[in-house]
Structures are given as C-alpha cells and as structure tokens.
Structure 1
Amino acid sequence: MTKSIPYARQWIHEEDIRAVVRTLDSSFLTTGPEIEKFEARLCQLTGAGHAIACTNGTAALHLACLALEISAPDLGLTSPISFLASANCIEYCGGKTDFIDINPLTLCMDPEKLEAYCLSNQPPRLVIPVDFAGMPADLPAIRSLAQRFGFAVIEDAAHAIGSTYTFEGRTYACGSCAHSDLAIFSFHPAKTVTAGEGGAILTNDDDLAFRLKTLRNHGMVKNRELNEEHGPWYYEMETPGFNYRITDIQCALGVSQLSRIDEFRARRQEIARLYNKAFKDDDRLILPPQELGKTACPHLYPIQFRGGSSVRKKVYQGLAAENIFCQVHYIPIHFQPYYAKKYGYTKKKCYQAETYYSRCLSLPLFPALKDEEVQTVIDKLSALI
C-alpha cells in the first residue's frame, strides 16, 4: 500500500516553528509588531501600497466588499469555478450575485463573456475575477471593461500569491492592484504560504485602506485630536465593524513562510513540469493551462479526463484505494442550492464551467511532495486510465 499522499499539505520548517515560539515568548500575541511586519512583506512582494491582514480569505473578501460599500441592490459578478466565498461575500453585503463563464483555455473568467453580459444586462457594481489554480485572470482586459462600464474590481488571488503576468512589456505580481481596486490572499494550510489560517486585502487606495483597517477592528477609530480632547483611551465607532483581526502568532508564521516563497514557487513549478512531461502526449487528458505572458505559482494541478465524469470517478476512487487523495476544484457555485433557489440558476447556465467540472481532478501538488511520490501518482493514474 502506498504511503498516504494528500492533494495538499503545508510545509513547515524549523525556522517557522522558532518564529512562532519567539512570538509566544514576546509581549504581543495579537495586534502587535508581527502583523505590521507581515503586511509590509506582502507590500514588498506585490508592489501594492497597502496590505491589511485579517482572519482568513473569506473575511478578506467580505471586508473588500464592505470597503467598496456594496449593498442592496448592487450586482456583483464572479467566476462559477471557485470556492463559495468568492460569491458569498457579495451576498453578505446584501448584493445580488451572478456568474460569468470561464475561458476553457485559462479556466478563469472570460472577459469576452463579461463584456457581452455588460452589454445585454444591467452593468454590475462589482466584478471579482478569480486567479484559478495560480493562473492569473486576464486582469488588464477586465480593468479595461471596468473603466468602460463603471464597475469596481476585486482580484481574488487566494490561489495566486507568487504568480505574475505581463502587460504591455511590464510584469505585475498578482495582488499588486495594478489592474484592480483591491486584491485578496488566503493563507490556509493548503495555500502556497500559510499562516495556519489568515487572509489579507491589498490596495493602492489610501481611503480604502483606512476603511479596511477600521472595519477589521469593530469600526473603531482613534485619532490625535480625539485623544487630546478626551484622553488616550478614547475611540469612536461611526459604523459597525467586525473582529476580523489576525494574531501575531499567525503573522510570525506568515513572515517566516514568505521568506521561502521563491523556494515554494520553484518546487511547485517543478512538480507541475513532472506531471506535464508525463502526460503531455496522452490524448485522454487535458493538462492545466499554460499561457504566454503569465508565470503561475501553481496552487493546484487540475487535470481533465476527456472520457468525462465516469473516468474521473474511477480514477478518484482507484487512487484513493492506493492512499492517494485527490480533490475536485470546484463544483460550480451556481449549482449550490442557495443560488439555484434564490436566483433560479440552472445547471445549463455556464457551459464551459460545467464541462470543466464534469471531468476535472486536482492531483497532489505541494512543495514537500517528493519526486518518487509524484512518479507514484503518475504511474497509478496511468494504470487506471
């Protein structure tokens, strides 16, 4: 029996452990210097002007929508191939959620379909493109449409820390907000960089950054004039916020992990190359996207079986029997009962997303995965198909 191989797993180094222990021995376990250090490193990595760390990626999306003042009856659009939070964040704020089909060559939101939607329907207030599996969405094209139709853009880069794209001869990091109003990251253990849990919102807008920091901390505001008039303890709340604060313990781990992001990216890319080399001539398979001008830090390796769902199920179960655990990313969000019942969305709404879902499977991909384990996955999958 094969040693258990999960589809994803964190890679914790001795220095990560030491960083957390140092924080446990310090004066701050939360709202301390490690948070500011983590946020500064995220700005350094992406080039964004501000980073606001918070409890998780879902909270990051919620805060981003709140900062943009999304509310009823605002319309928000996102990709159907993503985790639930990419759509739920619009619902949290009272908005209406709809979905734009993916481009099968990128597995990200199709800008042409977004343009067609804007021309034939009410233009949205917000669009949330998703950098799926680490592949950057076509952010410049979506930004151009935003300027034309007047919507805001939140880049859901939960999968894409360390990924880059090139536009007009210049390279941009995912999360830079060069072609979005806001961007978010997730630091769940399955992601490239983990803080145990955690998220962050990035922006180049000073006003949005101030609003985000306020909303993250109960909506409380302190300033020099108020403190001088009343005393250093004084604060005011003009709007209800949330306790979406992250801890110094988590950020200490995040800072340590960020110091190894080049290593993480290189290893993830190497594993993807091993899979690509093994499967490139197999016409029963469709490999993950590889776009010119985009350098993915792969979060997932989503393969597709031309034989469809029956082959996918057979392979999933056969690999599980060998202790190799894959995953499906994702069930299209409009399939979920909440969205189907509320908006009447059917299972024939987004053809490309639904076709992809019917035959996709994410193979194990994480930096601690050994070459011999990759080969085991390749051999077992090849035997099953």
Structure 2
Amino acid sequence: MVAPTEDFLPKILGYGGQSVGEMDISAVADVLAADYLTTGPRVEMFEALLCEITGSRHCIACASGTAALHLSCMALGIGREEVGLTSPISFLASANCIEYCDGRTDFIDIDPETLCLSPQHLDAYCRKHKAPRVVIPVDFAGLGADLPAMAELSKTYGFSLIEDAAHALGSFYEFDGRQYACGSCTHTDAAIFSFHPVKTITTGEGGAVMTNDARLADRVRCLRNHGMERYDDLLRQHGGWVYEMNSLGFNYRITDIQCALGISQLSRLDQFRNRRRQIVSNYNNAFSDRDDLLLPHKNLALTACPHLYPIRLKAGAAKRRQVYETLKADNILCQVHYIPIYRQPYYAAKYGYPKGKCPDAELYYSQTLSLPLFPAMSDHDMLRVIDRFRIALG
C-alpha cells in the first residue's frame, strides 16, 4: 500500500494564526514608500488607537510582548531579590521579566474555573510570606483575571500590579455592574499586550505597555530607547542634537512598518472578536453533550475576545496525548497551553520548585488541549475540527 502524499492530506490547521488581507498589505506598502520606516508617525497613531480602544491614558508600543513586560518591571523599579508573583499557566515571558530585573520569581496557583491567577491563593501567600514587590496576573485565553480583587490586595499589601493582557486585546471584565476593557489599567499600575501572529491582531512581532501613570509612561518610553532623554533645557543649552543617557535602557522600539499593519488590523478588531466568539460558541455547542470533557469558562464566549480554546479531557494526560497525535496525523495541529512554568529546568534548578507546587495548575495541565481558534478559519475548517476531535475521543 502506498503512503498518502502531502497532496492528498487535508490542509494544515494550527491552533492559531494571523488574518492578513489586502488592506493590511497595502498599509504596509504605503509605509515602504514613505519617509519613515522605523519610529515615525504610524507608531504614534497606533499608540493613540490602543488608548482609544482600552481607555488607558498612555501607550508605549515596543518590540514584543516580552519587551513590554520587561519594560514594565524595570520602570516600576523591580530590584535584586525582590519577589514577583505570576501564574504558572502562561508563557515563559510572564515569569522571565522578573528574572531580567534580578528579581525572584514565584508562582501562585490558578482558579480552576477561570484558569487565571487566584486572588485567594495570592492573599494566602501574602499572609504567609513577605508581600511581593509585583504581581503579574495573566488574562488566560483572553478571559480577564480578577483584577478588582487583586487591586484590593495590592492596597493591603503594597505590591505593584501589571496585567499581562497578551491574550486579551478586545476582551472585557465585569465589576460592580460595569464592563472594563482589558488593558484599561483601571485596577492596575500597568498592562501589556502582545501582537504576535497568533494573538488578536498582529504587527508581526510587537507589544505595548499601557498605563494611566504619566511618570511611569515617561520612564517606559525612555527605557524603550536605550535610556536616552531629550528635554527642553538641555536642547536650548546645547542644541537639538544633544541627548543624555542617565540609565541603561534597551533598543525595544517598534517600527512604522509594523504599526501600519497594526493600525490596519485594529480596524477589524470587532470582526476578529465576533468570529472568535462564534467559533467558541460552536465548539461549546458541539461538545456540550460529552461528559468526558470540561468546557472553558462561559465568559470566553461572552466578555472575552477568545485567544485560545482550552478544552479539558477528564481522562488525563495519556488520553490527551493519544488525541493530540491522532489529530496531528490529520494535519490538525493542536497545542497545550501551558506546561507550568516552575517545571522548567531553569526555575526548578534555581529555586527548587517541585512539580506539584500548584495542584490546580497541575491538574489543568494534565488534561488540557487547545483546539484551533483563529478568525481565518472557515466554517468548513471548524466543522472538520469538531468532527475529527469527536472521532479521536472515541
């Protein structure tokens, strides 16, 4: 029997992907014919649009979501051996940004329903240990973390709060009968976004820091550009070419090329959000009859702009692996989000964190599988995932 060739296999569906159209391509081409390729007017336009969308007063666009996290920690003055807490169920950058500042990263268990950092576990940590210097809750899969509860804890214990909204551009959370945009910084000192191709919108690579604190915003802008500063007295005294570097910064700038793409993408934010919610709702309907599955939190289809569809297989890791490999053979490339960060050799070796450190995170990790979810998926793609997933489950 002859093995099937690639020509006879169905098209590859990854767990996520960009949705780039002719309007996006045209926007980028316009910049290539303009005066600025690096930091120019499109950067400021992109920043202004993000402020308008979120309600935050200040936006500093930068090279990546990781850069945005690093800049936020630096601007808040996280120092050597100061403790920063985050969720173990996130990408590495949520924790690494604390390490970049020579801080000490620790992890708080998740809420088993929302899969975001648990305010109850955070409170227990603060009661048992010295209060942390910073806490970085993650809006997992696009679902807003319980930021109001953590804001109250920050008042009690005195830590800074950075919302990792890398998954959550276009998402909202509710408090006291009102909706707040993720990234609005209503309940945090700062927030960050990522514009990686699998996120809500893309700039290729890119990120942003949001804040309502003007001094913090100025500090982030300075650190984004090598720590260079130009101020009126200096320029008047020495001339327009003069700059000073009073602190060590980075080249974390973003380009006009990237921001032109971002501006074009933001014009379709509502469209992207609606399609993502539609896919989540269809998945929920398709799998609601299965007692061997745990569906994501209901708000993923209501208040979130869903980034992931993390469905849980009650049978656990062995079954998850079997389903993963079966779908992979059919060119449906699911993913697992995420391995608990404290399991990584760097953190396990440096701090001695055991594999079972956060029990709810461990249980979730043993069961989860992220099904494909991105706006460019056709209805046929979605039905194919539903059909093949049900068959793989048996």
Q: Output the TM-score relative to the length of structure 2.
A: 0.97
What does 1:251-266 align with in structure 2 at a 5 Å threshold? 251-266=259-274
Distance 2:300 2:216 in 1: 33
1:76 aligned counterpart, secondary structure: strand
1:208 corresponding residue in structure 2: 216
After superposition, give the CA deviation of every residue in 1:118-174 in whole Å (9 maximum; x if it has no partner): 001111010000000000000000001000100000000000000001111221100
Q: Does 1:100 align with 2:108?
A: yes
Shift of 1:252: 0.3
Q: Which moved more, 1:284-293 or 1:217-226?
A: 284-293
1:26 corresponding residue in structure 2: 34
1:157 corresponding residue in structure 2: 165
Q: Which of the residues 29, 32, 51 maps onto 2:59?
A: 51
Q: Does 1:272 align with 2:280?
A: yes
After superposition, give the CA deviation of every residue in 1:58-115 in whole Å (9 maximum; x if it has no partner): 0000000000010112100000000000000000000000000001100000100000
1:184 aligned counterpart, secondary structure: strand
After superposition, give the CA deviation of every residue in 1:311-333 in whole Å (9 maximum; x if it has no partner): 10011000000011100100000
- Structure 2 residue ranges without an equivalent (≥5): 1-8
1:375 corresponding residue in structure 2: 383
Distance 1:20 1:373 in 2: 29
Q: Which of the residues 190, 198, 201 maps onto 1:190?
A: 198
Distance 1:106 1:337 in 2: 27
2:4 corresponding residue in structure 1: none
Contact 2:281 2:301 in 1 (8 A): no
Shift of 1:6: 1.2
Q: Which runs of 4+ in 1 moved over 6 A?
A: none
Shift of 1:292: 9.6
Contact 2:43 2:61 in 1 (8 A): yes
Distance 1:248 1:183 in 2: 22
Match for 1:190: what amino acid?
V
Contact 1:164 1:294 in 2 (8 A): no
1:199 corresponding residue in structure 2: 207
CA RMSD of aligned residues (A): 1.0
Shift of 1:348: 1.1
Match for 1:54: what amino acid?
C
Contact 2:337 2:370 in 1 (8 A): yes
After superposition, give the CA deviation of every residue in 1:272-331 in whole Å (9 maximum; x if it has no partner): 011000001201111111249960100000011000001100110000000111001000
Shift of 1:347: 0.7
1:295 aligned counterpart, secondary structure: coil
Q: Which of the residues 156, 181, 184 maps onto 2:189?
A: 181
Q: Does 1:284 align with 2:292?
A: yes
1:194 aligned counterpart, secondary structure: coil
Distance 2:177 2:145 in 1: 17
**Residues 292, 187 of structure 1: alpha-carbon distance in 2 compared, 3 angstrom cutoff:** closer
What does 1:85-164 align with in structure 2 at a 5 Å threshold? 85-164=93-172
Aligned length: 385
1:16 corresponding residue in structure 2: 24
2:309 corresponding residue in structure 1: 301
Q: Which of the residues 46, 63, 66 maps onto 1:38?
A: 46
1:320 corresponding residue in structure 2: 328
Match for 2:369: what amino acid?
L
